[in-house]
Structure 1
Amino acid sequence: MANSAQARKRARQAVKQRAHNASLRSSLRTAVKRVQKAILAGDKAAAQSIYQESVSVIDRIADKKIVHKNKVSRHKSRLSAQIKALAA
């Protein structure tokens, strides 16, 4: 338990920050799922346009260090490869 006033304040701030970070992580997952859903539908043009929108969201979350940049890069690479494979 936090004993000093400063420690109590930091504990309160940590709760708020954790909730904010969880919200951002959730928006990352939603962006990835939107692209995957478009890929499963088989519409390459729609998948590409949704992918372009999602990349900005994904990169913004990586810049804030909510998730590691390599994880973001891996997601983008796999989604891009799946979109390219739609034509074949």
Structure 2
Amino acid sequence: MANIKAAKKDAVTSEQRRKKNSSRRSMIRTFIKKVRVAIMSGNQKKAEDAFQKMQSIIDSHVNKGLIHKNKAARYKSNFSLKIRKICKI
């Protein structure tokens, strides 16, 4: 355990940050899951709506440093390709 007052404060702050980040990561996973479910259902309109919501959430979390920009770009690219394939089927 920390002995210095500043170290104790840092421990409290890092715990608060950890809780917020885990909540935000969970939210990202939830939105990704909604897009996957919409794609699997074959409903292009529903998939596009879910994708738009997911895209804005992921972009905001990239700016906060929670998710790497290349990982976000990979998600967006893969899902947009899958959504376009729905229309061809």
Deviation at 1:3, TM superposition (A): 1.3
The aligned residue for residue 86 of structure 1 is: 86
Query: Which runs of 5 or more structure 1 residues have no equivalent in the other structure?
Result: none
TM-aligned CA deviation for residue 42 of structure 1: 0.3
Q: Which residue of 1 aligns with 2:28?
A: 28
The runs of at least 4 aligned residues of structure 1 exceeding 4 Å deviation read none
Q: TM-score, normalised by structure 1?
A: 0.95
**Matched residue type, 1:9:** K
> 3-state SS of the aligned residue for 2:87?
coil
Which residue is equivalent to 2:53? Answer: 53
Report the TM-score when normalising by structure 2.
Answer: 0.94
Offset, 1:47:
0.5
Identity between Structure 1 and Structure 2 (%) = 38
Q: CA deviation at 1:50?
A: 1.4
Shift of 1:49: 1.4
Whole-angstrom distance in 1 between the partners of 2:52 and 2:87: 18
Matched pairs, number: 88
Following superposition, the deviation at residue 84 of structure 1 comes to: 0.6
Q: Does 1:44 align with 2:44?
A: yes
Q: Tell me the alpha carbon deviations over residues 8-62 of structure 1, each in whole angstroms, 9 at most, x when there is no partner.
A: 0100110000000111111111111111100000001111111112111111111
Unaligned runs of 5+ in 2: none
Q: Relative contact order (alpha carbons < 8 A, sep ≥ 6): 1 or 2 greater?
A: 1
